[in-house]
Amino acid sequence: MNVRRWCAERLASLGFVVAAAAMVAVSYPSVSQAQNITVSEFKLGILDHDAHFLMGKEHGADINPELILSSPVTEDMIANAPAWLHWALQPRPTVGAAVNTAGDTDQFYLGATWSWMLAPNVINPGDGIVLEYFFGPGFNDGYEDRAPPNRKALGYFVLFREGLDLGYQINPTWIVSAHIDHISNGGLAKANQSINDVGLRLGYRF
What confidence score (pLDDT) does residue 40 get? 98
Burial pattern 78-88, b for ≥16 Cβ within 10 A else e, equals beeeeeeebee
Closest of 126, 134, 104, 129 to residue 43, by C-alpha? 134
Predicted confidence (pLDDT) per residue in 86-96, tens digit: 889 999 999 99
What is the number of domains present in the chain? Answer: 1
What confidence score (pLDDT) does residue 33 get? 62
Query: Roughly how many angstroms between the first and final C-alpha of the chain, as a whole number?
Result: 45
What confidence score (pLDDT) does residue 83 get? 84
Q: In tens digits, what is the pLDDT along the chain, a chain of 206 residues?
A: 444 454 445 444 444 544 554 454 444 444 446 899 999 999 999 999 999 999 999 999 999 999 999 999 999 999 999 888 888 999 999 999 999 999 999 999 999 999 999 999 999 999 999 999 999 999 999 999 989 999 999 999 999 999 999 999 999 999 999 999 999 998 888 899 999 999 999 999 99
Which CATH number goes with the domain that contains 121? Answer: 2.40.160.20
Find the domain containing 29 and state its range: 2-205
Instruction: Check: CB of residue 166 under 8 Å from CB of residue 119.
Output: no
How far is the C-alpha of 65 from the C-alpha of 43, rounded, in Å? 6
What confidence score (pLDDT) does residue 84 get? 84
How far is the C-alpha of 200 from the C-alpha of 36, rounded, in Å? 22
